[in-house]
Structure 1
């Protein structure tokens, strides 16, 4: 699942807007004064295999693909990568007693980089799949969540199941998991005698936003992080429901490491330590993605089935 959405805050270091009764703040400065720090986790450090060779001594080298906030994007200096995934990578590095070496990487390049040992891990919105598990190990840290967003004054209050979208005009991404889900929901509805939906596709977020605000569309169904970020910044939309990116199967986002390298268990322990300490929840809240929290990190959880 990958849906390109235009960067909403190019060149803006900090925006604070009031929406639905709360202030949303997003710091895109390279300094990141609000980034949290963690103490070394002795259990996680002990779980690092004695023969594991890090890409750089004393450092945790992590690949990340900067595409859009709040997951990962370039800061206002045009070079530093910031977002929820870089923040979590930093906390994991702290927990492992290592210095974070964050490397901006094209999405297509991370698999070879991880298998070759160029990167110790990739922490960049990678969904666990059974096919990927044949080549990589995983430590889950976020749910793969899709969100339903409507205009703030929309009469729609909840979308939790197929019947809730009957007769609506729905924006989604062409050729994506979310499109497959929404079309399957529509098929189920029509079998049940409910009104069909009208699916709409747009090339960029500006066009989608205009369609929602003008009433040409009722709801947008796309990856939750970017829609949540836009909602918090503009105050023009609100969340009315979420679904797993692998519906009806649960899908999770995970830190990805070389298969059988042994590092995954250490990272899983580190993430669970962050969950227990509260640093994990605070970090997700900082970037407005609390809806994607996992209760527990797992090593190699069930992935999306092969197609």
Structure 2
């Protein structure tokens, strides 16, 4: 695992021409982000109201801890491995810590693949998943959600690309676009592609890759025309390398807005205490500290909601 993380870092450095020191201090969305400074956790006080809202007889997956599934791959600023190649940092880890602290529990983060978090949460292996999960109509059938961030998606191309704008269905016709399988961004592209084909336009080609380094190389080598994913991840890469640029933004719940949420087993009774915990840290300022230090302040929300409308509603 350590060799893999180091190899990915070296690939990114080679593609960007940056030094290792350069990757630890970048300006994202107008906010300076320092990985070195962000090694120090942001903690918050126990929230008695959140604790009292825990269901009677609540037994966490790991006694005394709040066990949270987070992304297993380097996806800064959401999750990123520290220089020991073991410790996970990132805004998602910080949000998980704020919730755990509020509930009076220790934080136990578990790196998990995108494909595995649903079963892990449903089975009780994890108390929650915090891995950039958008509220959708389909997901609400199986999970409860407490929102904590706006879902903003971005189209990024390499700096030298002739593409000027990608913001609507016809713009993607005939393009090869990097996108995550099973994500809401994939659902949006597929819906757009259906519209295009009904109009006789060329289909787009999805380029599926979970590996950050592979995505970077595909875009820079010309094997893909664009990347479509969480805007905060795209903004981080653009700030770090200077070799990509934003050409369009789309709400994650297209055609409506949608939010990212802490995801919990439906009916577990955890959504109320987690919602209370999130609203508590939004009120005391610790939530804003977390988002600002990862360059995500532009996606802050003023209060957490339970199971709001999402993609497909």
TM-score (norm 1): 0.75
Deviation of the 1:93 alpha carbon: 1.0
- Cα-to-partner distance string for 1:63-90 (whole Å, 9 max, x where unaligned): 2232222222333323222211111101
CA distance in 1, matches of 2:257, 2:276: 21
For the Cα contact (< 8 Å) 1:281–1:293, is it kept in 2?
A: yes
User: Secondary structure of 1:89's partner?
Assistant: helix
2:135 is the counterpart of 1:128: yes
Deviation of the 1:54 alpha carbon: 1.8
CA distance in 1, matches of 2:115, 2:206: 28
CA distance in 2, matches of 1:178, 1:229: 18
Give unpaired runs (5+ residues) of structure 2. Answer: 1-6, 14-19
Q: Specify the alignment match of 1:36 in structure 2.
A: 42
**Equivalent of residue 305 in structure 2, options 295, 298, 302:** 298
**Equivalent of residue 25 in structure 1, options 33, 42, 45:** 33
Moved more, 175-184 or 255-264: 175-184
CA distance in 1, matches of 2:121, 2:293: 28
Q: Specify the alignment match of 1:112 in structure 2.
A: 119
CA distance in 2, matches of 1:170, 1:293: 31
- Cα-to-partner distance string for 1:45-77 (whole Å, 9 max, x where unaligned): 222123222223332122223222222233332
For the Cα contact (< 8 Å) 2:31–2:293, is it kept in 1?
A: no
Deviation of the 1:251 alpha carbon: 3.1
Deviation of the 1:283 alpha carbon: 1.4
The structure where helix makes up a greater share of residues is: 2
Q: Aligned-pair RMSD on alpha carbons?
A: 3.9
Give unpaired runs (5+ residues) of structure 1. Answer: 1-5
Alignment of 1:121-200 (within 5 A): 121-150=128-157, 165=171, 171-173=177-179, 177-178=184-185, 181-182=188-189
TM-score (norm 2): 0.74
For the Cα contact (< 8 Å) 1:38–1:91, is it kept in 2?
A: yes
2:96 is the counterpart of 1:98: no
For the Cα contact (< 8 Å) 1:37–1:91, is it kept in 2?
A: yes
**Equivalent of residue 51 in structure 1, options 57, 64, 79:** 57
Q: Specify the alignment match of 2:216 in structure 1.
A: 206
Count of matched residue positions in the alignment of Structure 1 and Structure 2: 294
Alpha carbons of 1:120 and 1:14: their partners in 2 closer, same or farther (altered >3 Å)?
farther
